[in-house]
Amino acid sequence: MKTKLNLICVMVFAVMVADLWGGWFEFDVGSNAADYEMGMVKEGEHKVIDAWYVCLLPFCNAETAITVRNDITGEELRAWPTQIYVEPLEHEEFKGWGAITQSIFALVAAIAFIVAICAFVGFIVRVNRDHIFDWKNVKLLRSAGAGLLLYGIIGSVWAVIGQVDTVQKFRLKGYAIDWLSGIEFTPLMLGLIAFVAAQVFAMGVKEEQELTI
């Protein structure tokens, strides 16, 4: 039984780490690519500009297609991009209150994720030490759930703010903005599942105490 539980916990932990790593990798690669494409970075510099990541819903009209080359066959194909980085109207770095706000949000999100990871690991350790139905585990699961929900909410809100700012500055013919693309569904779902598991464990603890009495 413990082996199965540990296997499930390891898979959940892997999903959490993969979600964080994937988001960071996507931001880092995309941001650097956008910098170089817009000519805002010179060799040896790492200057991050205010470029917004936008997900698009193409209407697939022939007039809005771009042409790409298939390196395997050499054939030129029509394509409709669904993810781009958009250069704002003014080439300015994050500064002032915008930079402070972003840094605070990022710090809080990072702390929330770390708390969730630590709580989840603590829960696994206690279960393997035969401490299963007790209030400590309930608190650990709730802490993990709260951390994941906070991390997901901050990421989602920040992404929507970026979409709103982009829409005010940018419009592409034949495309609609995918507003749901920025929502962090994975941490939100894992957070809710953690709260459900915590409630199940709480019911188990209460039932065990009633049987003991």
Residue located via tokens 């540990």: 6
Q: Among 129-133, 181-185, 187-191, 208-212, which is the least confidently predicted range?
A: 208-212
Strand 52-58 relative to strand 83-86: parallel, antiparallel, unpaired? antiparallel
Number of domains in the chain: 1
Q: Kindly report whether the global pTM for this prediction surpasses the value 0.75.
A: no
State pLDDT tens for residues 58-73: 887 878 888 888 889 9
Q: What is the pLDDT of residue 204?
A: 83
State pLDDT tens for residues 30-84: 445 444 444 444 445 555 455 667 788 888 787 888 888 888 998 999 998 888 8
Distance CA 37, CA 127 (A): 51
Taking the CA atoms of residue 22, residue 83, residue 147 and residue 207 in that order, the dihedral angle to the nearest 10 degrees is -90
Whether pLDDT at 13 is above 80: no
Q: Would you say 156 and 184 are in contact if contact means Cβ atoms under 8 Å apart?
A: yes
Domain region containing 19? 2-212
